[in-house]
Structure 1
Amino acid sequence: MIKHFIFHVMLLAGICSPLKEDLQHVTVYLIGDSTMSIKEVKAYPETGWGMPFAYFFDSTVTVDNRAKNGRSTRTFIAEDRWRPILETLQPGDYVFIQFGHNDESKEKTDRYTTPEQYTANLEKFVNEARTKQAYPVLLTPVSRRSFDSAGKVKETHAAYAALVKAVAAKLQVPLIDLNESSKALYQSFGPVYSKLLFLQLAPNEHPNYPLGKNDNTHFNELGARMIAQLVLNDMRNLQLPLTKRIVVSQQKL
């Protein structure tokens, strides 16, 4: 009993450790839009889910968040944001691909992407990442917050989420259905309390938004962290090798 207790104390202190597979360093690239991107200080408390996502991994992983506000698959490529990533990719790296919000916005012609081109662009990301022996992962666009009069969460990405699923099935790519899991999350909170996940501010509640903010697309810190945890959970369900790198805190004795 005493020896068993001493071993666990030493393990927690880092004096000894169980055998661990020697893992090479990998980079996880995040490409997508504002729901994932790193925010400037002037935008806080708006938070992209890729920001907290970066802190869930051990020292063998670097998360390189290249997502950018307002980008669609088309503009991400046209602005030469994909090529530098492709040139840097190393065997074993990952590319998490989440677009859709801007691709489907017909009223914003500077970023709108037709369903056919959206599909072609997703296939381009996947196929080119694979030429570098990297692992692409497709994500359906995270849902917006929208409820009907009966308090049921509404679909906000039906067409473009279906296109992501079709590409994943065609090319045999791991799929994280963030659209569905985020809708389930909002439903669990309900129409009122789900506001706590988003950039919802009363006037003068935050100095960055003196007039307040009523945003049902972008997350605050809590919402971003919970969306990141949805992604991590699906990574485990898919049994991605990357899940070996997720930090698991030691339980107290």
Structure 2
Amino acid sequence: MTSEPITVHLIGDSTAAEKAASERPETGWGTPFSERVDDSVTVENHARNGRSTRTFLEEGRWRPVVNALEAGDYVFVQFGHNDEVPSKEQYTPEEEFEANLERFVRETRDRGAEAVLLTPIARRHFDEGGDLKDTHRVYSELTRGVARQHDVPLVDADERSRSLLRELGPEASKSLYNHLPPGDHPNYPDGVIDDTHFSGAGARRMADLILDGVETLDLGLATRLDRNRR
């Protein structure tokens, strides 16, 4: 029996977003995620570089997503990287961040679709002793709190990615992020050391962690995954 077509909408920031050719090999996790579902699922990636919950709403990026939702669809919501930094113009105070997540959930449910909250994927920041810093502690916990209070499925991408980084350690984990020596890629002639955004291989590992979370939650979407696609 053929599954009814559904759409998974991704909203978030640069860690999930599709990348322009000029940004490669930096890759958002949304790209490999879209390749790991079967043909009954369309993935619409609305995530954009530099967005927070506040600016995503202020720029009018959320309303077209809501208008497109149909019963049975999903909205995956992952913010925090830009919301949590007071020095950034995209900063969102804690109470406003919670209210924005609640709005995404409420308006998704009003359309008969299912919201899934994700904590932000960890930055690769190890201290001098080789211990991984908890870079998203406050805003990840805010996301977990909204999920608990409103009974929203939660993929704890922060915890899952921190576990992976601790397992790999400071050196091996560099391969997951956009680290390039000078002259290695024409987009980064001077090289780059970026411990927030992913390499192609890193994006695939992060997408797999999120899909593991989908399966753990036993969402209906889990029956439509094709983990053998690459």
Tell me how far 1:145 sits from its aligned partner: 0.2
Tell me the distance in 2 between the aligned counterparts of 1:187 and 1:40. Answer: 30
CA offset digits 1:184-225 (Å, max 9, x no partner): 111111101100000001100111000000100000100000
Equivalent residue number for residue 81 of structure 1: 61
- What letter corresponds to residue 42 of structure 1 in structure 2? S
Tell me how far 1:22 sits from its aligned partner: 3.3
- Report the 3-state secondary structure (helix = DSSP H, G, I; strand = E; otherwise coil) of the residue aligned with 1:31: strand
Structure showing greater relative contact order (alpha-carbon pairs closer than 8 Å, 6 or more residues apart): 2
Equivalent residue number for residue 228 of structure 1: 207
- Report the 3-state secondary structure (helix = DSSP H, G, I; strand = E; otherwise coil) of the residue aligned with 1:68: coil
Match among 187, 198, 210 for residue 208 of structure 1: 187
> TM-score normalized by structure 1?
0.89
Query: Would you say the 8 A contact 2:36–2:228 is kept in 1?
Result: no
Structure 2, unmatched stretches of 5+, are none
Equivalent residue number for residue 163 of structure 2: 184
Equivalent residue number for residue 82 of structure 2: 102
Tell me how far 1:151 sits from its aligned partner: 1.4
Match among 113, 119, 135 for residue 114 of structure 2: 135
Tell me how far 1:248 sits from its aligned partner: 5.0
Match among 98, 104, 124 for residue 145 of structure 1: 124
Match among 22, 26, 40 for residue 46 of structure 1: 26
Tell me how far 1:105 sits from its aligned partner: 1.3
- What letter corresponds to residue 162 of structure 1 in structure 2? E
Tell me the distance in 2 between the aligned counterparts of 1:228 and 1:248. Answer: 10
Bigger-Rg structure (1/2):
1
CA offset digits 1:81-123 (Å, max 9, x no partner): 0000100100000000000000011111x21000000000000
- What letter corresponds to residue 74 of structure 1 in structure 2? R
Match among 27, 39, 42 for residue 62 of structure 1: 42
Establish whether residue 154 from structure 1 lines up as the match of residue 133 from structure 2.
yes
Which aligned runs of 4 or more in structure 1 are off by greater than 4 angstroms?
A: none
Equivalent residue number for residue 91 of structure 2: 112
Query: Would you say the 8 A contact 2:84–2:139 is kept in 1?
Result: yes
Equivalent residue number for residue 2 of structure 2: 22
Tell me how far 1:148 sits from its aligned partner: 1.7
- Report the 3-state secondary structure (helix = DSSP H, G, I; strand = E; otherwise coil) of the residue aligned with 1:101: coil
- What letter corresponds to residue 84 of structure 2 in structure 1? E
> TM-score normalized by structure 2?
0.98
Q: How many residues align structurally?
A: 229
Q: CA RMSD in A?
A: 1.1
**In percent, how many aligned pairs have the same letter?**
49
Query: Would you say the 8 A contact 2:18–2:47 is kept in 1?
Result: yes
Tell me the distance in 1 between the aligned counterparts of 2:66 and 2:2. Answer: 26
